[in-house]
Structures are given as structure tokens and as C-alpha cells.
């Protein structure tokens, strides 16, 4: 193999926002079964580090086009983190103040990232779950005349996945097999947007949807009540706290309802949080692919599908974000800050630069 070379993008970007999308599809070489081809669509390559950059830019630009968002108006949104980070990046680039409401159960690094990008973060009690931070955002918008981003209801969410994510998948697999696509859900924009396209353009592709095993709200069969604006009016009774941050708020979002009503998925499979953590760690240590618990959880289901998939099947796994969003979560439990005994032994094998020496 010769030395690697690069050629540049062949163009100059006028804004960081123009780099959103066109994320790579990457083959998994070491931990996938030999009889199938497994690929990941690695959304951490977005400039804000997650798939939510896509909906963030479309929500803002769509609202600019139709006049719902006024110049200099404050944007407010409830988020577990990634949408807030994406919105913070977009609002910073476009000059809008941003206020995020977020339950205090989500990782500290997420709120610090949003503040670093110029946003204000209003924390809500974890006991009130996602519905609590959602109601807080609605109150702040109504009281102050702010623009509510409405990621859980707006058609701008699934639309961007139809027009970008799905098109990228079609282009990457043109002339190639694509037997399975595996994804989880937070707002549901990914599965709804991609489902619209694959159901017509690649009807042979089976779409596998997954949710936390201990918070299987879709599998419960109960749909929470909504108001005339399609906003949830209650916390889902089947919701339980789970470690897969970004997945499954304590209500079924209206954006996801399209995928449920339209049968955009072929199978719904539960995944346990510890399995997601385990596979995220394996992707990092054995493939060099650094994704969070949500990505590990999606990959766990892909490995389950792979066990019985026919010879030569191609499986595409959506990896929503980077593992750096999870430094203070169970994903990094047991990862030492100081040297392990093995590392200390390596250090002692040569005489120089010993820790603790004068």
C-alpha cells in the first residue's frame, strides 16, 4: 500500500453550516460476522458532531424563509443535548440568541458545549423527565415571544432527512446491495425521512427500528395524547429512565408518528443499555470508530440481525454522534484517568521520566 494522499474538497465553504451532511459510510472490518457486509453511516462527521446538525439548520433556515423567525429573535428548544448543540452552532453562525431547556440528568459536557457555543442552558428537574423540559421551553416561548424550534413536531425535521440523509444513502449504495437499515429514534426524523425514500426507491431494504428495552414506548402500543399543535400533553406511562441519551423521550413525538402510521419499519427490536455501551466500546477499541451509547445500541441490534441474515447481506447502521458527548456517563466508567498497573509496568521498563520521581 502506497502513502495516502488527499486532494481537498475542490471548493471553498462560505459558512460552517455548508459542511453539514455528506457524512461517510464506512465498512466495519473486524467485529462484524464474515458472512455479511456491515457499514455505518457516521454522523459524527457533521461539524457539530451529530446527526442533529441536519435538523437544526433546516429548522432555522425554513423558519427564515417563511418569516416565522425574525432577525435577532431568540430561539428556544427542549433537548437532551445534540439538537441543542446543533442549534447553538447554527444560531452562532447566523446571529440568533439561543436558550435551551434540558433535564439535569443529561451529561454535563453537553450543557457545557452549548454554553461554549454561546447558548443559555436552563436546567429542569430530572424527576419531571423530558416532558418537564418540553413544557418549560413552551412556557418560555409564549412568555417572551421567542421562536420555539419544535423539533418533535415540525415537518422541517423529517424533510431534511428525506432530502439529504436518504439521498446520500441512495448514492452510496447505488448498484450495491442494501438489505437492512438499522436506526433508533429520538424525534423520529431520521426514520421518517429515510423511510419515505427507501420505501419507494429501495423497497427491498428492510428498515429495523430499535428502542430501549426498559423504555419500549412504541412497543407498548399506547400513543400519548397531543394537542391541536401536535405537541404532547402527557408523559408516556411506559417510559422509564434509560442510559441511551438522545433516544426515546417520555412521549412519542409527532415526527415519529409518521413512521408508525406509514409502516416505515419492518421490525421493532428492543436493546438493553449495557449492550449499547459494550458495542460502543468495541467499535472504538477494535474498529477505531468512536460513537456514543446510541450508536453502540443501534450497532448492537445490527449484530443481532446479522446472526440470521442471509449470506452476503449488506447492513447499514446509523451512528448518530461522537462518543465525546458521553465522558461523564456510564460509557466511560472504568476508564482510568491515571496509569493502570499495566501502564505503570510499561513505564518502569525504561529508566527515564518516571511519575513520582524528583
In the predicted structure, residue 254 carries a pLDDT above the cut 90: yes
pLDDT tens sequence across 71-83: 999 999 999 889 9
- Residue 250, burial from CB neighbour count under 10 angstroms (0-12, 13-18, 19+): buried
- Residue in this structure with the C-alpha cell 446527526, named with its chain if needed: 51
pLDDT band at 358 (very low <50, low <70, confident <90, very high): low
Query: For the chain, what are the domain ranges?
Result: 16-50+155-332, 52-148
Helices (H), 202-292: 254-261, 273-287
The residues annotated as belonging to the active site are 52, 294
Architecture category of domain 52-148 in CATH: 3-Layer(aba) Sandwich (3.40)
pLDDT tens sequence across 284-333: 999 999 999 999 999 999 999 999 999 999 999 999 999 999 999 999 99
- Comparing 16-50+155-332 with 52-148, is the CATH topology the same? yes
Average pLDDT, the chain: 96
pLDDT tens sequence across 267-277: 999 999 999 99
- Phi-psi group of 316: left, alpha or beta (phi > 0 → left; psi -120 to 50 → alpha; rest → beta): beta
Please report the pLDDT score of residue 105 as a whole number: 87
Does domain 16-50+155-332 correspond to CATH entry 3.30.420.40?
A: no
Q: What is the pTM for the complete model shown?
A: 0.95
39 closest CA partner among 50, 54, 29: 29
Amino acid at each position: 500500500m502506497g502513502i495516502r494522499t488527499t486532494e481537498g474538497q475542490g471548493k471553498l465553504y462560505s459558512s460552517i453550516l455548508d459542511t453539514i451532511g455528506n457524512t461517510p459510510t464506512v465498512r466495519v472490518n473486524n467485529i462484524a460476522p464474515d458472512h455479511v457486509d456491515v457499514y455505518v453511516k457516521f454522523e459524527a462527521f457533521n461539524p457539530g458532531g451529530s446527526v442533529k446538525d441536519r435538523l437544526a439548520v433546516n429548522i432555522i433556515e425554513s423558519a427564515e424563509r417563511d418569516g416565522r423567525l425574525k432577525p435577532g429573535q431568540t430561539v428556544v428548544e427542549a433537548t437532551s443535548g445534540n439538537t441543542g448543540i446543533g442549534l447553538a452552532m447554527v444560531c452562532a453562525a447566523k446571529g440568533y440568541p439561543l436558550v435551551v431547556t434540558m433535564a439535569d440528568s443529561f451529561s454535563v459536557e453537553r450543557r457545557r458545549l452549548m454554553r461554549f457555543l454561546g447558548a443559555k442552558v436552563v436546567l429542569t428537574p430530572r424527576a419531571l423527565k423530558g416532558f418537564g423540559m418540553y413544557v418549560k421551553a413552551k412556557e418560555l416561548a409564549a412568555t417572551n415571544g421567542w421562536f420555539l424550534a419544535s423539533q418533535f413536531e415540525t415537518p422541517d425535521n423529517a424533510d431534511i432527512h428525506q432530502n439529504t440523509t436518504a439521498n446520500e444513502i441512495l448514492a452510496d449504495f447505488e448498484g450495491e446491495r442494501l438489505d437492512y437499515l438499522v436506526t433508533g429514534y429520538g424525534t423520529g426524523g431520521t426514520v421518517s425521512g429515510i423511510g419515505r425514500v427507501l420505501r419507494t426507491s429501495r423497497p427491498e431494504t428492510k428498515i429495523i427500528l430499535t428502542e430501549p428495552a426498559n423504555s419500549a414506548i412504541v412497543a407498548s402500543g399506547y400513543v400519548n395524547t397531543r394537542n391541536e399543535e401536535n405537541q404532547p400533553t402527557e408523559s408516556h406511562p411506559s417510559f422509564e429512565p434509560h442510559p441511551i441519551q438522545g433516544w426515546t423521550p417520555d412521549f412519542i413525538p409527532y415526527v415519529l408518528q409518521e413512521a408508525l402510521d406509514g409502516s416505515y419499519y419492518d421490525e421493532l427490536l428492543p436493546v438493553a443499555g449495557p449492550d449499547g455501551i459494550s458495542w460502543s466500546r468495541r467499535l472504538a477499541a477494535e474498529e477505531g470508530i468512536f460513537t456514543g451509547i446510541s450508536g453502540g445500541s443501534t450497532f448492537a441490534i445490527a449484530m443481532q440481525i446479522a446472526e440470521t441474515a442471509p449470506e452476503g447481506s449488506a447492513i447499514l447502521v446509523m451512528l448518530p454522534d461522537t462518543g465525546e458527548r458521553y465522558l461523564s456517563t456510564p460509557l466511560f466508567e472504568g476508564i482510568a484517568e491515571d496509569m493502570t498497573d499495566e501502564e505503570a509496568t510499561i513505564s518502569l521498563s525504561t529508566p527515564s521520566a518516571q511519575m513520582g520521581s524528583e
